Structure 1
Amino acid sequence: MALTSPAKAEHSYSHLIDTLEDGRFKFFNPQKLNDPRYDQLPLSIRVLLEAAIRNCDGFYTKEEDIQNILDWQQQQNKAEVPFSPARVLLQDFTGIPAMVDLAAMRDAVAKHGMDPSLVNPKCPTDLIVDHSLQIDYSKWCVSLKNQEMELVRNKERLQFFKWCSKAFKNVNVVPPDVGAVHQVNLEYLSRVIQVSDGFIYPDSVVGTDSHTTMINGLGILGWGVGGIESEAVMLGQPVSLTLPQVVGCKLVGSINPLTTSIDVVLGITKHLRQAGIAGKFVEFFGPGVCQLSAPDRTTIANMCPEYNATVSFFPVDQVTLKTDFHSKVKLKLFLNWQVIEINLSSMVPYVSGPKRPQDRVAVSSMKEDFQSCLDEKVGFKGFHISKEKQDIRVPFLHCGQEYQLVHGSVVIAAVISCTNNCNPSVMLTAGLLAKKAVEAGLVVKPYIRTSLAPGSGMVTHYLNTSGVLPYFSQLGFEVIGYGCATCVGNTAPLREAVVDAIKQGDLVACGVLSGNRHFEGRLCDCVRANYLASPPLVVAYALAGTVGIDFEKEPLGVTSEGKEVYLCDIWPSREEVQQTEEDTVISSIFKDLRGRMEKGNTFWNNVDCPDSVVFPWDHKSTYIRSPSFFSKLVTAPQSIENAHVLLFLGDKVTTDHISPAGSIARVSAAAKYLQSKRLTPREFNSYGARRGNDAVMTRGTFASIKLQNRFIGKPGPKTLHIPSGQTLDVFEAAERYQRDSIPLIILAGKDYGSGNSRDWVAKGPYLLGVRAVIAESFEKLHKNQLVGMGIMPLQFLPDQNADSLELSGKERFTITLPDSLSPRQQLAVKTSQGKSFFVTALFDTDMDIIFFRHGGHLRYVARTFL
């Protein structure tokens, strides 16, 4: 490891080393500090403390850091502390640029006369190939065809991944067709207790996926970070975080029989979002916790990014481990902590949407709520459809039969288990519902794009064993493969007749999925309303064919005999689900997953890869390219002189707006580049799959069709090239500015950069020439990513913004950097129109400033080898 080994005698805290009774393992015992402050620490903070003690090396982690953590009551939200996780988790969309960067770093080190084999992850890293699956086939074809297409389409990427698994130490690549990253993390990679060099210590992880927080349901501390931060951790640097406040969440009451863990999590999401807990740790306790299974807990922990908490932590107990190990762990009283009490009895079935996960809607109110969305002005909930157009019906033909679409018609229905943590109860509820629906004679309209994406083979195993899988298939929910699909924008195009009908009637068509990401346009650009729902409700809405239904008063459908069937007629009882779970979800199926991981598949095993220390880049490749991040390793950041504004943005700019993950539009700058390489639109693949190609990803930056640029006045990936007055693609405008050596900045509103933790949201703007972003507020994770790429995150002072300062965005901006920077320092900004104002440079720590001065994490690490 890069940090001091805990077995060395010179370790500052070697006197805390203890031995288990059986003598097999050693561990650092913080209780031997005999410090009364330790007993007052929340359990999640104790994990931070143990990691700091074990990794104390006097450089990255110092003794004063340990004291700050012990002094948590006074230092929370003040002191910055390091956290060295036990491992790093990568999915392939974010993993490939990380590994490409390491390969490029080897090139840079070799060019400077050093041994390139020195460049390796210091922290154990698991990379799961799971995000390249696309739904080319559904309903009438089996998942093998999708998997075959995935493997052929991504051969170059897979060859590179295989090279990584052989060339780099401490890298484990999980091949495709095993499972989704968060699912494999839960089922196979997580250990609760790690063992290394004769020492045991708590398992912990940071991952380049927002679902990483799921692992907190098992009592394993972990959260999502940007690809840039994850690369730093891989190379031996700890994550730097402000010592968090901890909110105690007391669960009381009993869960309603019709309420699933998805309903519980949406309810908790609303409560905690209203409580204002951004950046805090949430620690669950109370009598309601024991009612929650381990899958229930991980499902709840999964959504914590949606209410802006860092983690939602369920301490290890007997439910987690099914043994008495660690059962003596006791939750301390929450003393003077902030405590939020949530009554589980108040939870009823909910969905969330139509555009944001925090906008919860009771299923009983869904019909009424959707109607209000049609009425309201365009916004987070509204579509502003005039009254005379709300009753429009558009007929169309599909397979020789006529159907009709209306506002609220469901055209995408995706049952996704990965986001539900392979939660057997909700998946089996959906399967039993499908079984009862088929037996009652109900069908799903064939034009609806239905799919079933199990998070791993384990899910398919128990769905098949329980006998419900054939009923899923009969309703059109075929297993389409193992990996992220619908919720990451990889849904196959809708039928042409359906798209034409939607456009003809300007309809607000709907998608329903059991995921946790559904921003407008993410699933499909012509589907404006998307709802998150539990898997059984996805099936229910697919059967109904519309979200404009009152399940209590209106039937799901009518059988061929004319009998009306209501949702309550086919909803399985809690007892029936529990019995099915007990009969089919057994520990032996985990062995099947382990075997598939270790054996791989025939295609993966036959993939050839180079046998070399440095990667032999193929200049003809459109998937893998060596980026230019390491071309200048000695240039320090300078003041920004006479910068133009590349984009003038408003509130709630998400990472989907900044760096789309879905399909590549045929008229985009990225498409033009790929066409110049003689690729056809069928070969474009997705932005996510091409994250190893900086030329594609730079052109894809700000390429979202939903981008609202105030320079333009309508959605689209365009901006104003101010010197010429021309409207251009964002990339084309940035290219012109760079040719003229004009630095660029971005103006934005509140919550800039909310959403997924993909690294290209910072790498892309950097390669476009963006030097700073001035916003009213930032998502913390994205703020860290900007720092990690050497871009300044600058915040308007309280009660100030672009409008209050009367900025048009067409001015030129000068931002002066002092010789020495300090955390949260105010900087002066001057415009070409003579205005001056101050902004706060959001460097939270001295380490942030060090990284920025070196041009970001990657160049800082590269310099350490030189």
Structure 2
Amino acid sequence: MKRLFRPHDRVPLREMKADWNSCLNNKVGFKGFAVPKEAQGKVAKFSFHGQPAELKHGSVVIAAITSCTNTSNPSVMLGAGLVKPWIKTSLAPGSGVVTKYLLQSGLQEYLNKQGFHIVGYGCTTCIGNSGDLDESVASAISENDIIAAAVLSGNRNFEGRVHALTRANYLASPPLVVAYALAGTVDIDFDKEPIGTGKDGKSVYFNDIWPSTEEVAEAVQSSVLPNMFKSTYEAITKGNPMWNQLSVPSSTMYSWDPISTYIHEPPYFKNMTMEPPGAHGVKDAYCLLNFGDSITTDHISPAGSIQKDSPAAKFLLDRGVERKDFNSYGSRRGNDEVMARGTFANIRLVNKLLNGEVGPKTIHVPTGEKLYVFDAAMRYKDAGHDTIVLAGAEYGSGSSRDWAAKGPMLLGVKAVIAKSFERIHRSNLVGMGIIPLCFKSGEDADTLGLTGHERYTIDLPRKIDEIRPGQDVTVTTDNGKSFTCTVRFDTEVELAYFNNGGILPYVIRNLIRQ
């Protein structure tokens, strides 16, 4: 099992129950839900299609065998068809070959009976495309503040991404997904507690239903056949009738549709000149967000479903898009106007400016108003103010999402000051013209007494040849504080990107000169 965010957060199965209970006790944030001791045994009773039902902290409400890595492995896919779930389930292989060998083995019939119907081929639950929960389940979670869980076999389980109502999201192999669906909770020790009761009235344990290696190997040998791969991949270039009937313009330039809410001409090259703009400092910038440790690219980047009250939802509604057609941020990643509104829109964002409140909002410092991050950023931008982000350690960990850097740039963020950066995300920030700075060892926003209500000036030389990789600069605030940071331009090439306003204009200028 893997709990949130990072490979090294793997939880051994035998430690799962203890780890889950520690998460309930930990303070709100990374692996923490801060549920009071007296509320940890809460039971939310409700009616599910006329039948009595109940949810507790740790109840599994989504179990998904999803595409990507695990569904490409025949042994784990064929081992998943042995148990029966009762919660919302789905099966989305990454390839049509999987369907063929599940049918050949006879297991698909039983997966269907268990609720694991094939819903498509491609990204689903791990990017927030699991769909809505049953209204009664959703209400029971929301009204009782239940920490509900999702167990999926995808690659990603970042907060707020799988589903807005599943605050605990675990990665597991396909057989384990089904096992947890049968157990109905992550608060279980499979070695000691039964996952159900058999027809004979006896308790059924995990070991009773787990397939042996020999059984799985025999199924693979008899069901995963070479011709399945050959016939499936031979048809890739043939497309389908809908795809083949698309009209393809003959022009060499793309014709932008100004009313499209899916694809929009991006602003990266607007008003670009052949002469690079040069280096820039930051003067009297407001703090847009003040973070602690372990802010991932999925906290930053637009991901998952578009929430009904969000700035992105308002944008779509204003353009005549009905809520049922919102789709996901991933589907609309070609529209910068949607994606900018989805930047820092993660529902599990912990921003110190909100004094413990969790969600995609921040404080507009000049007025003290609580606004969605996008709305606050536009207030600053329209008034001509720079903004920065304060952060703790491992800022930008997780998948190397380009929108985690493009989004903040579009919001007007000029610099990020953090204890440390994830390697690729730091590079991506530089590529979008955002200055990454690191606090000195032993220092951070808290030790320096920074609240995020100050205005920040970064004394960076204005001539690019006066800046060297890894040099120190002074940061001052309007209330008299001063501290030293290290500029994380790590190479001469990154300085060239910064001089050009980012990697995109850098590349275009070089292509034109050729």
Provide TM-score, normalisation by structure 1: 0.56
Q: CA deviation at 1:357?
A: 4.8
2:102 counterpart SS class: helix
2:12 is the alignment partner of 1:362: yes
For the 8 Å contact 1:417–1:423, the answer to whether it is kept is no
Q: CA deviation at 1:373?
A: 3.0
> What corresponds to 2:389 in structure 1?
746
Q: CA deviation at 1:724?
A: 2.1
2:309 is the alignment partner of 1:667: yes
> What corresponds to 1:830 in structure 2?
476
For the 8 Å contact 1:647–1:747, the answer to whether it is kept is yes
2:246 is the alignment partner of 1:596: no
Letter in 1 for 2:365: I
For the 8 Å contact 1:412–1:511, the answer to whether it is kept is yes
Structure 1 residue corresponding to 2:75, chosen from 425, 428, 451: 425
After TM superposition, where is structure 1 displaced by more than 4 Å over at least 4 residues in a row? 354-357
TM alignment of 1:73-92, pairs within 5 A: none
TM alignment of 1:679-690, pairs within 5 A: 679-690=321-332
> What corresponds to 1:444 in structure 2?
85
2:505 counterpart SS class: helix
Shift of the 395–810 alpha-carbon distance from structure 1 to 2, 3 Å rule, reads closer
Letter in 2 for 1:852: F
Structure 1 residues 334-392: Cα deviation after superposition (integer angstroms, max 9, x where no partner): xxxxxxxxxxxxxxxxx222676533333233334333333444343332333332333
TM alignment of 1:39-54, pairs within 5 A: none
Structure 2 residue corresponding to 1:851, chosen from 494, 497, 507: 497
1:809 counterpart SS class: coil
Letter in 2 for 1:603: M
For the 8 Å contact 2:61–2:149, the answer to whether it is kept is yes
**Separation in structure 2 between the aligned mates of residue 739 and residue 544 of structure 1, nearest angstrom:** 53
Structure 1 residues 172-214: Cα deviation after superposition (integer angstroms, max 9, x where no partner): xxxxxxxxxxxxxxxxxxxxxxxxxxxxxxxxxxxxxxxxxxx
Q: CA deviation at 1:571?
A: 1.7
**Separation in structure 2 between the aligned mates of residue 768 and residue 377 of structure 1, nearest angstrom:** 30
Structure 2 residue corresponding to 1:610, chosen from 249, 252, 266: 249
Letter in 1 for 2:141: I
TM alignment of 1:715-734, pairs within 5 A: 715-734=358-377
For the 8 Å contact 1:794–1:840, the answer to whether it is kept is yes
> What corresponds to 1:810 in structure 2?
453
Q: Which has the larger radius of gyration?
A: 1
For the 8 Å contact 1:633–1:863, the answer to whether it is kept is no
1:774 counterpart SS class: strand
Structure 1 residues 713-750: Cα deviation after superposition (integer angstroms, max 9, x where no partner): 21122122222222222122221222221111111111
Structure 1 residues 421-475: Cα deviation after superposition (integer angstroms, max 9, x where no partner): 61111111113xx2xx4xxxxx432xx1101111111111212212211111110
Structure 1 residue corresponding to 2:166, chosen from 516, 527, 530: 527
For the 8 Å contact 1:640–1:743, the answer to whether it is kept is yes
2:363 counterpart SS class: strand
Structure 1 residues 821-845: Cα deviation after superposition (integer angstroms, max 9, x where no partner): 2111222222222332221111111
Structure 1 residues 99-146: Cα deviation after superposition (integer angstroms, max 9, x where no partner): xxxxxxxxxxxxxxxxxxxxxxxxxxxxxxxxxxxxxxxxxxxxxxxx
Q: CA deviation at 1:608?
A: 2.0
Shift of the 379–411 alpha-carbon distance from structure 1 to 2, 3 Å rule, reads same
> What corresponds to 1:842 in structure 2?
488
Shift of the 560–573 alpha-carbon distance from structure 1 to 2, 3 Å rule, reads closer
Instruction: List alignment gaps of at least 5 residues for structure 1.
Output: 1-350, 438-442
Shift of the 468–383 alpha-carbon distance from structure 1 to 2, 3 Å rule, reads same
> What corresponds to 2:265 in structure 1?
626
1:412 counterpart SS class: strand
For the 8 Å contact 1:709–1:715, the answer to whether it is kept is yes
Structure 1 residues 135-166: Cα deviation after superposition (integer angstroms, max 9, x where no partner): xxxxxxxxxxxxxxxxxxxxxxxxxxxxxxxx
For the 8 Å contact 2:303–2:342, the answer to whether it is kept is no
For the 8 Å contact 1:356–1:518, the answer to whether it is kept is no
**Separation in structure 2 between the aligned mates of residue 738 and residue 417 of structure 1, nearest angstrom:** 40
> What corresponds to 2:34 in structure 1?
384
For the 8 Å contact 1:520–1:530, the answer to whether it is kept is yes
**Separation in structure 1 between the aligned mates of residue 25 and residue 336 of structure 2, nearest angstrom:** 43
Shift of the 584–810 alpha-carbon distance from structure 1 to 2, 3 Å rule, reads same
1:542 counterpart SS class: helix
2:353 counterpart SS class: coil
**Separation in structure 2 between the aligned mates of residue 524 and residue 687 of structure 1, nearest angstrom:** 13
Q: CA deviation at 1:522?
A: 2.0
**Separation in structure 2 between the aligned mates of residue 356 and residue 508 of structure 1, nearest angstrom:** 20
Shift of the 378–726 alpha-carbon distance from structure 1 to 2, 3 Å rule, reads closer
**Separation in structure 2 between the aligned mates of residue 710 and residue 562 of structure 1, nearest angstrom:** 52
TM alignment of 1:159-198, pairs within 5 A: none
For the 8 Å contact 1:789–1:857, the answer to whether it is kept is yes
> What corresponds to 1:576 in structure 2?
215
Percent of aligned positions that are identical = 53
**Separation in structure 1 between the aligned mates of residue 128 and residue 332 of structure 2, nearest angstrom:** 14
2:169 counterpart SS class: strand
2:362 is the alignment partner of 1:712: no
Shift of the 495–724 alpha-carbon distance from structure 1 to 2, 3 Å rule, reads same
**Separation in structure 1 between the aligned mates of residue 460 and residue 144 of structure 2, nearest angstrom:** 54
TM alignment of 1:315-464, pairs within 5 A: 351-353=1-3, 357-420=7-70, 422-431=72-81, 434=82, 437=83, 443-445=84-86, 448-464=87-103
Provide TM-score, normalisation by structure 2: 0.94
1:833 counterpart SS class: coil
Shift of the 657–590 alpha-carbon distance from structure 1 to 2, 3 Å rule, reads same
Letter in 2 for 1:786: L
For the 8 Å contact 2:5–2:398, the answer to whether it is kept is no
Q: CA deviation at 1:701?
A: 1.1
> What corresponds to 1:192 in structure 2?
none
Structure 1 residues 256-292: Cα deviation after superposition (integer angstroms, max 9, x where no partner): xxxxxxxxxxxxxxxxxxxxxxxxxxxxxxxxxxxxx
RMSD of aligned Cα (Å): 1.8
**Separation in structure 2 between the aligned mates of residue 548 and residue 716 of structure 1, nearest angstrom:** 26
For the 8 Å contact 2:89–2:116, the answer to whether it is kept is yes
**Separation in structure 2 between the aligned mates of residue 579 and residue 504 of structure 1, nearest angstrom:** 48
Shift of the 709–369 alpha-carbon distance from structure 1 to 2, 3 Å rule, reads closer
> What corresponds to 2:398 in structure 1?
755
Instruction: List alignment gaps of at least 5 residues for structure 2.
Output: none
**Separation in structure 2 between the aligned mates of residue 496 and residue 452 of structure 1, nearest angstrom:** 22
Letter in 2 for 1:396: F
1:691 counterpart SS class: coil
> What corresponds to 1:658 in structure 2?
300
**Separation in structure 2 between the aligned mates of residue 361 and residue 413 of structure 1, nearest angstrom:** 18
The count of corresponding residues between Structure 1 and Structure 2 is 505
1:361 counterpart SS class: coil
Q: CA deviation at 1:695?
A: 0.8
**Separation in structure 1 between the aligned mates of residue 74 and residue 179 of structure 2, nearest angstrom:** 18
For the 8 Å contact 1:516–1:532, the answer to whether it is kept is yes
1:616 counterpart SS class: coil
**Separation in structure 2 between the aligned mates of residue 387 and residue 519 of structure 1, nearest angstrom:** 26
Shift of the 391–746 alpha-carbon distance from structure 1 to 2, 3 Å rule, reads closer
Shift of the 610–504 alpha-carbon distance from structure 1 to 2, 3 Å rule, reads same
For the 8 Å contact 1:355–1:380, the answer to whether it is kept is no
TM alignment of 1:533-544, pairs within 5 A: 533-544=172-183
